[in-house]
Amino acid sequence: SSSNATIVLRGDQPGPVISKNIYGQFSEHLGRCIYEGIWVGPDSPIPNTKGYRNDVLAALKTLQVPQLRWPGGCFADEYHWRDGIGPREKRPSMYNSHWGGVVENNHFGTHEFLDLCEMLGIEPYICLNVGSGTVQEAMEWVEYMTSPASSPMANLRRANGREQPWKVPYIAVGNESWGCGGSMTPAFYADNYKRYNTFVKNYDRDLRIQRIACGANGDNYEWTETLMKEAGRNMHGLALHYYTLPSGSWRGKKGSATQFDEAEYFATLRNTLKMEELIAKHSAIMDKYDPEKKVALVVDEWGIWTDVEPGTNPGFLYQQNTLRDAILAAINLHLFQAHADRVTMANIAQMVNVLQAMILTDKEKMLLTPTYHVFEMFKVHQGATLIPVVLASPDYVVGKEKIPAVSVSASRNAAGKVHVSLSNANPNAAITVTCKLAGLTGSAVTGRILTAPAVTSHNTFDAPHTVEPAAFDGAKLAGDTLTVALPAKSVVVLEL
Ligand code: AHR
């Protein structure tokens, strides 16, 4: 079957800049994200540069990762940065209580993380330990990383081999302080936020650190209300965490990453669309206290969370990644872009081998997931100007429920190129999209598509190219009308 959608691209209306930081990622000391996924150590037989895997470095370079969050997550509020500096063989080990109860040898620490960011042109986003740390420890870490002076912490950094301070533009004050970060009430956290933040100093004249407060768990609007009221003037960003669970519940099974029927596929996308309501309602509260939208809504953990791959450590959160995840990623990125005036930063969880990962590794092997390909196809939107869109989509109906089948976003970059990204969630029907260009001119259209035989299709270490972008010739441009034959279960990016 087939159906029709209409879109108007309002190139005649102003739009905000789409912050490149919406395309941020998250790397926690969790499972095989850091160790094996990014860091194998300089003595590994796996080809590496100073300990970082070469294959992963190259894949991340292509992706143009704008900013990267580290060291957690729940891990951040148990992390003591001094254990992760100095000669590696002398660093003390620690117990990773949240993630599999494994022993962490601290071989990947501040220098290893910040050097990685520098090598790849990524802006670091560091989460301070508020839950089990001290104000002094947090203050000294910021000095260690960013001070150009001849001060005690800067000199300790120099003694460890790094002369110049690093640029660390984003600092988070604790993670999930309502939960694993300390089980705090919003009022208690707001006070702690202000206390810690007071001692996050700008040591470097050329660096104004952006401070991000711990935000709500999903629909906890009271958290946002209290934080904005008590500390909104003291922050640049307020976080939000929302994960998409296929089952919709943290109790019992969440659902398999690769084996699901159409009802579960539909439920997953319906659950992911909750992000729209969350952004709208948290933004409305922020608007009350910050009508000029100076404080960013920072969605610094998002993505699909399924059951782990059978036979793997449940504490490692290792899951496969299908075409479903690609469509889910496209929908969320479109939502962030639609709210680009408030959502200026986001971090998918996580970068390698954990949750909705870009990259999976198995010893010396590596594969790129369908989600990686969406981030790669969508990088054309980074830093471009949003073109407002008006969409009328056919419904995708399963049983008694429906969601819009089509999701869309468009932007114009500095060179004047227009990019339109589209997804069709319906796995059974192609959609003819008629798109009117208002105040835009294009002479030709080219495109790329990501699709596969089934929504459960995924890449494996033996067959890593099952879900990959291909050239798309289903778009035609005639005057001010762009017509797109959008295949079932696909993500498309067009350039005009
Ligand atoms: O991303 C995995 C975990 O999910 C993070 O450590 C925590 O912040 C969240 O609960």
Q: What share of the chain is helix, strand, coil (3-state, %, to 5)?
A: 30, 30, 45
Q: Which of 78, 230, 301, 376 is catalytic?
A: 301
- Angle at Cα 28 formed by Cα 62 and Cα 219, nearest 5°? 100
Q: Is the CB of 143 under 6 A from ligand 1?
A: no
DSSP 98-125: TTTTEEE---S-HHHHHHHHHHHTPEEE
Please list, in sequence order, all residues whose beta carbon lies within 8 angstroms of the beta carbon of residue 292, skipping any fewer than 6 positions away: none
Cα distance between residue 451 and residue 457, in whole Å: 9
Please list, in sequence order, all residues whose beta carbon lies within 8 angstroms of the beta carbon of residue 159, skipping any fewer than 6 positions away: none
Tell me which residue of 267, 268, 222, 214 sits closest to 241, measured CA to CA: 214
pLDDT per residue of the chain (496 residues) written in tens, 0 to 9:
459 999 999 999 999 999 999 999 999 999 999 999 999 999 999 999 999 999 999 999 999 999 999 999 999 999 999 999 999 999 999 999 999 999 999 999 999 999 999 999 999 999 999 999 999 999 999 999 999 999 999 999 999 999 999 999 999 999 999 999 999 999 999 999 999 999 999 999 999 999 999 999 999 999 999 999 999 999 999 999 999 999 999 999 999 999 999 999 999 999 999 999 999 999 999 999 999 999 999 999 999 999 999 999 999 999 999 999 999 999 999 999 999 999 999 999 999 999 999 999 999 999 999 999 999 999 999 999 999 999 999 999 999 999 999 999 999 999 999 999 999 999 999 999 999 999 998 889 999 999 999 999 999 999 999 999 999 999 999 999 999 999 999 999 999 9
CB atoms inside a 10 Å sphere around CB 101: 10
Cα distance between residue 267 and residue 470, in whole Å: 28
Phi-psi region of 183 (alpha: psi -120 to 50; beta: other; left: phi over 0): left
Q: Determine which residue's CA is closest to atom 8 belonging to ligand 1.
A: 73
CB atoms inside a 10 Å sphere around CB 415: 6
Cα distance between residue 219 and residue 473, in whole Å: 41
Q: Please answer whether residues 114 and 157 qualify as being in contact, where contact means their C-beta atoms are separated by less than 8 angstroms.
A: no
- Angle at Cα 72 formed by Cα 67 and Cα 77, nearest 5°? 135
Q: Is the CB of 307 under 6 A from ligand 1?
A: no
Q: Which of 36, 78, 143, 176 is catalytic?
A: 176
Q: Determine which residue's CA is closest to atom 7 belonging to ligand 1.
A: 73
User: 3-class SS at 44?
Assistant: coil
Q: Is the CB of 28 under 6 A from ligand 1?
A: yes
Is the model's pTM score more than 0.95? Answer: yes
Instruction: State which ligand 1 atom lies nearest to the alpha carbon of 179.
Output: 10
* 480 phi and psi angles, rounded to 5 deg: -100, 20
User: 3-class SS at 24?
Assistant: strand
Question: Burial of 121 by CB count in 10 Å (0-12 exposed, 13-18 middle, 19+ buried)?
Answer: exposed
Tell me which residue of 170, 398, 70, 378 sits closest to 264, measured CA to CA: 398
- Which of 173, 175, 319, 356 to mutate to test ligand 1, by most ligand atoms within 8 A of the CB atom? 175
* Annotation says 301 is catalytic: yes
Taking the mean position of all CA atoms in its chain, how far away is CA 427?
A: 25
- The bridge status of strand 475-478 relative to strand 481-486 is antiparallel
Q: How far is the CA of 316 from the centre of ligand 1 (A)?
A: 11
- The bridge status of strand 385-387 relative to strand 406-412 is antiparallel
Q: How far is the CA of 201 from the centre of ligand 1 (A)?
A: 27
Q: Is the CB of 73 under 6 A from ligand 1?
A: yes
Q: Is the CB of 176 under 6 A from ligand 1?
A: yes
Q: Is the CB of 469 under 6 A from ligand 1?
A: no
* Annotation says 277 is catalytic: no
The distance between the two most distant Cα atoms of the chain, rounded to a whole number of Å, is 70
Strands (E) in 321-417, as ranges, are 345-349, 359-362, 365-368, 385-387, 389-392, 395-398, 401-404, 406-412
Q: Is the CB of 301 under 6 A from ligand 1?
A: yes
